[in-house]
Amino acid sequence: MTARTRVAVVGGGRSCEHDVSLASAASVASGLDPTTYDVVPLTIGRDGTWHDRGMRPIGLSGAAQVLRGCDVVFPVVHGPHGEDGTVAALCELAGLPYVGSGVTAGAVAMDKWVTKLVAGAIGLATAPGHLVDTATAAHEHWTHPVVVKPVAAGSSHGVTLVERPDDLRPALDAALALDRRALVEDVVTGREIDVAVLRRADGRVVASPPLEVVVDGVFDLHTKYGGHADLRVPARLDEVDAKALEDAALAAYGALGCSGVARVDFFLTDAGPVLNEVNTIPGLTEHSQVPRMFAAAGLAYPDLLDELVRGAHR
């Protein structure tokens, strides 16, 4: 009888995406084939304390002992202190195989400002915008409608569409409450299209069918998790637009040095794709966008998870 692969599934974390991460981690743990994988859950509390499968606090030293007894680590910690390369760095230092992007890709993709710089260097369009920090925010003046967002946060936390001068200061305060830096970007008019990119276990890099997010207004936190968005996959696109989006998603994934699966979010405008952001640890419940996209391509959720584990960094 072949021994099952022990997989440590790590969820939670110190970011504002803690609850979303818990949902993703629980789904991954139950979605891994129990005949092939022995799942070992670990949870990082909101205060950074590590907990075992019984939710007993074991600290980092206790977690390290658990991790050393596993074959692969599957981090599902969204946002800062997880997706930004910190959990990948822990695995690298401990010499543990892990699922997903490495330290550099996680850190760069989490930083929306640096991602814009990388995108510009390889010829991908992004929304015109500029950087604001806690020292310069007081000098920011409203001139036209903008979107304000934290530089390093996810799940649409702290994102505000500012359409009136009086709304600019509260929007900056909301973004800077989550990060020391914020982006102030022009409003881009276009369809919201996501493409997932996966490095399969055999090394091939493939793009999913595109998914369109149809909302009335901004795809904010309430819309994203309140069931108010219409997610259409595959998105109805002509051949030219579909090819442009796939090429742009693959280019962004490659330039950032991603591994595992990443979700690349675009606005599709009359002038072509405009990159919004790249998520290196996207939502991974069975009903999240990435699994939906690959399911539309015939890759079922347990098979997607299997590809990710078998393609882990060694």
Share of the chain above pLDDT 90, in %: 90
- The pLDDT score that the predictor gives to residue 16 is 87
Give the C-alpha separation, 281 to 107, whole Å: 11
Q: Residue 192: which residues within 8 A CB-CB, separation 6 or more?
A: 212, 213, 214, 215, 219, 265, 266, 267, 268, 276
Written as one letter, the residue type at 18 is: H
Q: Are 223 and 229 in contact (CB under 8 A)?
A: yes
Length of the chain as a residue count: 314
Q: What is the largest CA-CA distance in the chain?
A: 68
DSSP β-ladder status, 37-44 and 5-12: parallel
Average pLDDT over residues 274-300: 97
Q: Which residue has the tokens 């909301």?
A: 174
Full DSSP string of 250-314? HHHHHHHT--SEEEEEEEEETTEEEEEEEESS---STTSHHHHHHHHTT--HHHHHHHHHHT-B-
Q: Can you read off the two tokens belonging to residue 54?
A: 């019984």
For residue 225, the tally of other CB atoms under 10 A from its CB is 15
| Predicted pLDDT at 2 | 60
Conformational region of residue 271, where left means phi above 0, alpha means psi within -120 to 50, and beta covers everything else: alpha
DSSP state of 203: S
Q: What is the DSSP string of 153-202?
A: --TTTT-EEE-SGGGHHHHHHHHHTT-SEEEEEEPPPSEEEEEEEEE-TT
Q: In this model, does residue 1 exceed pLDDT 90?
A: no
Question: Who has greater pLDDT, 105 or 3?
Answer: 105
Q: For residue 156, what pLDDT is reported?
A: 74
| 141, 146, 151, 155 alpha-carbon torsion, rounded to 10° | 140
For 97-129, the pLDDT digits (tens) are 999 999 999 999 999 999 999 999 999 999 999
Q: Which residue has tokens 């909302």?
A: 215
Per-residue pLDDT tens digits for 43-64: 999 999 999 999 999 999 999 9
Mean pLDDT of the chain: 94
User: Roughly how many angstroms between the first and final C-alpha of the chain, as a whole number?
Assistant: 24
Q: Tell me, what's the pLDDT at 153?
A: 79
Domains along the sequence of the chain with CATH: 5-98 (3.40.50.20), 107-126+190-310 (3.30.470.20), 129-186 (3.30.1490.20)
pLDDT in tens, 71-93: 999 999 999 999 999 999 999 99
pLDDT in tens, 216-239: 755 454 554 445 578 999 999 999
Q: Give the tens place of pLDDT for each residue, 187-220.
A: 999 999 999 999 999 999 999 999 999 977 554 5
pLDDT number for residue 154: 65
> CA-to-CA distance for 301 and 314, rounded, in angstroms?
23
